Chain A
Amino acid sequence: MKLKRFIPLMAVLALVVGLLAGCGSGSSSGKSLKVIKIATQTPLSGGSATLGNAIKLGAQLSVQDYKAKFAKLGYKVVLAPYDDMADPKKGVSNAQDIASDNSILGIVGHLNSGVAIPSSSVYEQNHIAMVSPANTAVELTERGLKSVNRICARDDFQGPAGANYAVKTLKAKKIFIIQDKTAYGSGLASAFRDEAKKLGAKIVGYEGITVGEKDFSGVISQAAATKPDLLYFGGVYAEGGLIIKQARQQGMNMPIMGGDGLDSSSTVSIAGPAVKNVYFSTVVGDVTKTEAGRKFAADYKKQFGKDIEGYSAYGYDCGGVLQQAILNAIKKNGGKLPTRANVETAVRDIHNYDGLATKVDFDNKGDNKYAKIYIYKFDKASYPATEMTEIQKTK
């Protein structure tokens, strides 16, 4: 009688166990090269997966490019992609998983600051170096964690830089701000608002929208009624593209501006021709200006069948910084496998790393001294946009 009840349960468990048993045997592919892993943790499913996937693919490409260098020292780097689903809980639980895998020496990630902040506490405890391509929230590095680094600019640099351009160059007097109520969008938008106010512009509206919706006409008709000179959007392309499109449909032909979340080919494909006269500030320079960048874009296209996104190059650079640091640590360690703590210090000690998108040199908080802001404009409905100006950090 009891036996009967056990059967379906046992069957399911046997299935799971069988799969996992295979897991154990599958990973033991013996080779002479010692395996080092670096992890990526970005959203690979869910609403912001385009960006998360771009980071992962960029990092993947950098692993391939470093292959020869590691092989010379007798190592092989393998990428271990994790999906944080843009969920803090999942991020922390993945972080624990990463911490338990001793072959993982560093992490490229995350996309969302809300996930990066709690997960980085785990990395800190385990001395796993994290190099972030995209977390712009000020808070992340302000906590003084040794393991946390980022190569992109912070909100309190990007927002004001955008505001400066909007008020001084575009001569915007009345600005309407829309933000997506995420940590990224509202952080950027409030930094923009404060600086714009300081520079003498009038903020005629500051409204929030819901991520994932498609109809923003309510907020837009409110914005249209105030007749602003500039519409600013703090958020990412999925909503940004639609806001641009719907604003143009309601006859708002003034310049629209946004942050690096708009730096994606999806902005163009969503907004279509409406994307003209849209500006965005971004932490990523136009990589296709350099020879190396063009090669990267071509390789990326060949390998993954996709055009590069802004964050692709950043993922690539993060992977590069991390691997360069591991190489340094190996050399310092006399060719032996470095510990996580060794890698952690090696990452922080990286000097003048020449990346594809940016030069990298970390200050004592883990922020990139060379982080720059670029202002781009869409002149026509095609990606990438044209670079208008670049702004150096003044500090």
Chain B
Amino acid sequence: MLQHIIQLLPQVLVDGITLGFVYAVVAIGYTMVYGILELINFAHGDIFMTGAFIGSGFLFLFISLGLMSSLPALLVFLIVIILSAMITGGMGVAIERVAYRPLRKRNAPKLIALITSIGISFILEDLVRFIAEWKTGNYIVTAPSLFNHTFTIDIHSIMPFFNNAKFQSSFIVVLVVTIIMLIGLDLFVNKTKWGMAMRAVAQDRETASLMTINVNRVISVTFFVGSALGGATGVLFMLQYGTIDPYIGFILGIKAFTAAVLGGIGNIRGAMFGGLMLGLIEMFAAANLSTLTGGLFGSEYKDVFAFIILILVLIFKPEGLFGKATIEKV
């Protein structure tokens, strides 16, 4: 049994890291908004989805313009991902303007923003579906693949108790780009003026506004950065898995939100770690659950497994792995 699990380990690690990175970047979007507004932005998963569709739209456009043959794939990819990120970032700002800011102005209860975010998420899903179905005749869109060279890590010949792991070249792209994004974000939040303003607003909005910080603009910037990251991850997702539909955002959104909580919501490094961990747990469970339980519980229980781990973590560490315990004063 153990031997079987060890055999699979390299492949599980490769796949888990891919999925985990996607979760991590989307989770950051949740965590950033939550950190500042204490709002679960349900529409964030759908911004991720929209990013994937915008990215594939650009790819199709480039193909029809004949740019693909004249430009290297990597350059095309960079153009696409930056354009998509800019557009989804703008969308995030617009959504905040339309759906959240009026509520803040009117001093509405925090949970009412949940309703607008669910509403926005329905609207986005259907809007994207309309456009995709209108243009392609089918809302399940398969994007042209840019990087599909398969590599094999020949770990078996070095350590014979491992099986070989295989991955696509898109895996490397996903890995490199997310790491760049994560480091960039970390620098942005911790080293720049805007980052400092964001942290200030997250800590205490009123005091921050007294310190000449334009709170509304900081919130806009937060939504822009979070949504741009989400959109860019959408493009990566499309690249890695090839097929997208308007409902990926909903399913991935739940997972990413879970990851954000696992790491301690409001904490950016926590979200990174939580996402990675959730991806690995899920992949491990999918590959090994039935071996572990002797066939009683198969991989269909992988989400149960992940949620049980989450609940256990929260029972022993109620603020998430990286969250700080807040002392509540009366």
Report A-B touching, CB under 8 Å: yes
How near does chain A come to B1, taking the closest CB pair, in angstroms?
Answer: 12
Per the CB 8 Å criterion, the residue count for chain A at the interface is: 37
Q: Considering the complex, which residues of chain B in the window 227-248 have a beta carbon less than 8 Å from any beta carbon of chain A?
A: 237, 241-245, 247-248
Contact B126 A45 (CB under 8 A): yes
Interface residues of A (CB under 8 A from B): 45-47, 49-50, 181, 205-210, 212-219, 221-222, 224-225, 238, 241-242, 245, 249-251, 266, 269-270, 272, 305-306
Q: Contacting A217 at CB < 8 Å: which of B11, B129, B251?
A: B11
Q: Given A217-B11, A266-B138 in contact, is the A206-B298 Cβ separation under 8 Å?
A: yes
Chain A residue with Cβ nearest B285? A218
Contact A238 B140 (CB under 8 A): yes
Q: Does B46 contact A (CB under 8 A)?
A: no
Q: Does B261 contact A (CB under 8 A)?
A: no
Chain A residues closer than 8 Å to B137, beta-carbon distance: 305-306
Cβ-closest 3 pairs across A and B: A218-B286, A208-B300, A217-B15
Q: Give the docked Cα–Cα distance between A280 and B140 (Å).
A: 21
Contact B8 A222 (CB under 8 A): yes
Chain B residues closer than 8 Å to A207, beta-carbon distance: 290, 298-300
Q: Give the docked Cα–Cα distance between A45 and B245 (Å).
A: 12
Chain B residue with Cβ nearest A47? B247
Chain B residue with Cβ nearest A304? B137
Q: Considering the complex, which residues of chain B in the window 75-96 have a beta carbon less than 8 Å from any beta carbon of chain A?
A: none
Q: Does B277 contact A (CB under 8 A)?
A: no
Q: Give the docked Cα–Cα distance between A242 and B244 (Å).
A: 10
Contact B248 A225 (CB under 8 A): no
Contact A272 B242 (CB under 8 A): yes
Q: Contacting B241 at CB < 8 Å: which of A218, A225, A242?
A: A242
Q: Given A45-B126, A210-B300 in contact, is the A218-B282 Cβ separation under 8 Å?
A: yes
30 residue pairs bridging A and B, Cβ less than 8 Å apart = A50-B139, A181-B300, A207-B300, A208-B299, A209-B300, A210-B251, A210-B302, A212-B251, A213-B251, A214-B244, A216-B286, A217-B11, A217-B286, A218-B16, A218-B282, A221-B12, A221-B287, A222-B8, A225-B7, A225-B8, A225-B163, A238-B140, A250-B166, A251-B152, A251-B166, A269-B140, A270-B140, A270-B142, A270-B242, A272-B142
Q: Contacting A218 at CB < 8 Å: which of B4, B245, B250, B287?
A: B287
Chain A residues closer than 8 Å to B19, beta-carbon distance: 215, 217
Q: Contacting B8 at CB < 8 Å: which of A45, A221, A242?
A: A221
Chain B residue with Cβ nearest A214? B241
How near does chain B come to A166, taking the closest CB pair, in angstroms?
Answer: 21
Most A Cβ at <10 Å: residue of B166, B237, B248, B298? B298
Chain A residue with Cβ nearest B7? A225
Chain A residue with Cβ nearest B9? A221
Contact B243 A214 (CB under 8 A): yes
Contact B243 A241 (CB under 8 A): yes
Chain A residues closer than 8 Å to B121, beta-carbon distance: none
Q: Give the docked Cα–Cα distance between A218 and B284 (Å).
A: 7
Q: Does B145 contact A (CB under 8 A)?
A: yes
Q: Considering the complex, which residues of chain B in the window 252-302 have a beta carbon less than 8 Å from any beta carbon of chain A?
A: 282-288, 290-291, 295, 298-300, 302
Most A Cβ at <10 Å: residue of B237, B250, B302? B302
Most A Cβ at <10 Å: residue of B4, B7, B19, B300? B300
Q: Contacting B237 at CB < 8 Å: which of A208, A214, A217, A269?
A: A214
How near does chain A come to B22, taking the closest CB pair, in angstroms?
Answer: 8
Q: Give the docked Cα–Cα distance between A46 and B248 (Å).
A: 11
Beyond A207-B298, A212-B248, A217-B15: 9 further Cβ-contacts under 8 Å? Answer: A207-B300, A217-B18, A218-B16, A224-B11, A225-B163, A238-B140, A251-B152, A251-B166, A269-B140
How near does chain A come to B120, taking the closest CB pair, in angstroms?
Answer: 17
Q: Does B303 contact A (CB under 8 A)?
A: yes
Contact B8 A270 (CB under 8 A): no
Contact B299 A50 (CB under 8 A): no
Q: Given A249-B150, A269-B142, A272-B145 in contact, is the A222-B248 Cβ separation under 8 Å?
A: no
